[in-house]
Every structure is written in C-alpha cells, then in structure tokens.
Amino acid sequence: MSCLFCKIIKGEIPCKKIYEDDQIFAFHDINPQAPVHVLIISKKHISGIPQLVIDDDALIGKIMRTAHKIAQQLNVADQGYRVVVNSGRNAGQEVFHIHFHLLGGRSMNWPPG
C-alpha cells in the first residue's frame, strides 16, 4: 500500500508520535499551522468521510475523545482548540486516509480558509 499514513503507522516513515492505542495513532504535523498541530488518524485505512460506514461510528467518537485528551496533555484544552477534518481535494485533503487536525496554542480566526 502506498498510503503515507499507513506507512507512518507501520513505522516505515518516522514521525514524532504523541499517542497510540489499538485503533488510533497521533503524531505532530511536520508542517504545523499552529503552535500545537497534531494529526490523529485511524489505524484502519479509511480514505475519507465518504467512505465511513456505520461500523466506524464508535471509532470516530473515540478519535474525538482522544483529541480532547491530547489537547489536555499539550495544555491547550482550557484555552481552546480546533479539530478539523478536510474532505476531498478542494477542501485541502492531501493524504487520502481520514485524519483529524488538532490545532491550538493561538487564537483561531473565523471563517477559516
């Protein structure tokens, strides 16, 4: 498989890992857009939001709870943080393996983009 994130999970590509369990892997983004920028990914290869199935509902909920735990660990939970999922090329998705961006450590503007 040529998926960048699958290779990171397998340890074929180095990363600065911050969290791992049996379903989820999280690491610092190599091109951070905020002082805290972590990517949280499913160990199950899912290309994106359109490929989610009902059986993935618990996994997505667990990813969101894990995002909050990581935000607490990195001391941005109390001041606020953003969790972003890009779906498709026009939305900015570059790696087609579902992933969640945890951004914090600065004031976020609205609207984004």
Q: Which residues are catalytic?
A: 99
Q: Is 94 inside any structural domain?
A: yes
Range of the domain at 37: 4-104
What is the predicted pLDDT for the residue at 97?
97
Residue 109 lies in a domain: no
For β-strands 81-84 and 36-42, DSSP reports them as unpaired
The domain that holds 88 is classified in CATH as: 3.30.428.10
Q: Which residues of the chain have pLDDT under 50?
A: none
Q: Is residue 112 part of a domain?
A: no
In a domain, 70, yes or no: yes
Q: What is the pTM of this model?
A: 0.94
Number of structural domains found in the chain: 1
Model pLDDT, residue 113: 61
Q: Is residue 113 part of a domain?
A: no
The residues near 80 (Cβ < 8 Å, ≥ 6 apart) are 104, 108
